[in-house]
């Protein structure tokens, strides 16, 4: 199928990620005020905005980690979430972290993909090291790999490139592009959305709602 027709077919399908009329307040302060969002397969969507505007709150709601005050979110297919702060076990090695998350995902034959991701992000040499002993950039690479390990249909990424070196940054975008080509939905949140040509759509979170930019 030609690329244009394939893309049209993907976008005509039900979105892999939907949020409708999402409201969320903290201590009486409104953060999200009726936010709506739809992300289809084969699409990379960026969300920018100043610090404190609710970007992380939005991702946590979409990931099912946080309950909205009102509204609903729907995901179709498996979900991968890369939080802003790496959620890893520091006393375990990189490989032991991968094994733990693979078991949580219910994966059996996870080692080949894990090895490929370690190679692509260039931290195979740290595979047997405790996470407590590796750099912040390596922890962020592991954070990404854990989100990718089960090859999810929907990827939610909160500041995924923070702390990455240049080669890892480029590798992230190669992987993102490949995921899009395979029909995945990606939502990338950052306080500054760089390289806008890499996205299909970009929004700014202001006043509790998304505005197309």
Query: What secondary structure does DSSP assign to 79-131, as a single string?
Result: EEEE-SS----TTSBHHHHHHHHHHHHT-SS-HHHHHHHHHHTT-GGGTTSBG
The pLDDT, as a whole number, for residue 150 is: 96
Burial class of residue 107, CB neighbours in 10 A (0-12, 13-18, 19+): middle
The pLDDT, as a whole number, for residue 43 is: 97
The Cα-based distances of 58 to 22, 55, 66, 69, 169 in angstroms read: 9, 5, 9, 12, 24
**CA 190 to CA 5: how far, in whole Å?**
31
The pLDDT, as a whole number, for residue 2 is: 46
* CA neighbor of 143 nearest in space, from 175, 121, 174, 128: 121
The pLDDT, as a whole number, for residue 194 is: 76
Residue 157 predicted with pLDDT over 90: yes
Residue 1 predicted with pLDDT over 50: no
For the chain, what are the domain ranges?
1-77+155-160+186-213
The pLDDT, as a whole number, for residue 191 is: 79
CA dihedral 39, 143, 166, 182 (to 10 degrees): -40
Q: Which of 16-30, 119-133, 149-163, 192-206 has the lowest mean pLDDT?
A: 192-206
Residue 64 DSSP class: T
Tokens 């733990």, residue located: 100
Q: In this predicted model, what pLDDT tens digit does every residue of 172-198 receive, in sequence order?
A: 999 999 999 999 999 999 877 778 899
**Mean of the per-residue pLDDT values for the chain?**
93
Range 1-77+155-160+186-213 classified under CATH 3.40.50.300: yes
Q: In this predicted model, what pLDDT tens digit does every residue of 72-113 receive, in sequence order?
A: 999 999 999 999 999 999 999 999 999 999 999 999 999 999
Q: How many CB atoms lie within 10 A of CB 12?
A: 8
- pLDDT confidence band for 116 (50 / 70 / 90): very high
pLDDT above 70 covers a percentage of the chain that reads 94
pTM of the model: 0.91
């Amino acid at each position: 199928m030609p690329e244009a027709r394939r893309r049209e077919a993907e976008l005509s399908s039900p979105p892999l990620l939907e949020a409708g009329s999402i409201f969320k307040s903290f201590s009486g302060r409104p953060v999200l005020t009726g936010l709506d969002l739809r992300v289809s397969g084969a699409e990379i969507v960026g969300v920018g905005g100043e610090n404190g505007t609710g970007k992380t709150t939005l991702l946590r709601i979409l990931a099912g980690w946080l309950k909205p005050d009102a509204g609903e979110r729907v995901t179709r297919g498996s979900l991968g979430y890369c939080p802003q702060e790496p959620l890893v076990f520091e006393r375990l090695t990189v490989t032991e972290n991968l094994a733990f998350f693979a078991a949580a995902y219910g994966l059996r034959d996870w080692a080949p993909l894990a090895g490929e991701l370690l190679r692509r992000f260039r931290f195979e040499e740290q595979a047997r090291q405790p996470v407590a002993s590796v750099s912040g950039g390596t922890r962020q690479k592991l954070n990404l790999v854990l989100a990718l390990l089960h090859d999810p249909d929907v990827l939610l990424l909160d500041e995924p490139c923070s702390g990455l070196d240049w080669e890892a940054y480029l590798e992230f975008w190669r992987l993102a592009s490949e995921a899009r080509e395979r029909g995945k939905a990606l939502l990338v949140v950052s306080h500054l959305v760089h390289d806008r040509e890499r996205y299909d759509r970009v929004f700014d979170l202001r006043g509790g709602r998304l505005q197309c930019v």
